[in-house]
Amino acid sequence: MGYTQAIEMANLLDLEQGIRWHLRHNHYPPVPSKMIPIAVEAIRFCQENRSGEIIRIFFVNQDFGWSVPAHVIVEAYHLEPWVG
């Protein structure tokens, strides 16, 4: 059900609105809103065939975090409907 809804949201809403809805409603617990720009960046890299591009995700109020390829974020949050 979640994947079908994600496809619909990808077709009905602009990118950021669709991702916001998807991360809030198709995931339990909901993904924090601070991940929306990271998800959008990952989608754009994958759309440009740059899926191996590294994205930094910092922990709240910390100087450290993760370095993750864009395609890992797309796969982890089931963002494939926006990649095409």
pLDDT at 5: 83
DSSP 8-state symbol, 79? -
Structural domain boundaries enclosing 45 = 2-83
pTM confidence score: 0.88
Residue 29 has φ and ψ, to the nearest 5°, of: -70, 160
Residue 11 to residue 17: CA distance in whole angstroms: 11
pLDDT at 12: 83
The structural domain count of the chain equals 1
Average pLDDT of the chain to the nearest whole number: 91
In sequence order, the β-bridge partners of residue 43 are: none
Q: Note the helical H segments in the chain.
A: 2-12, 15-25, 36-47, 70-76, 80-83
In sequence order, the β-bridge partners of residue 67 are: 56
CA 15 to chain centre: 10
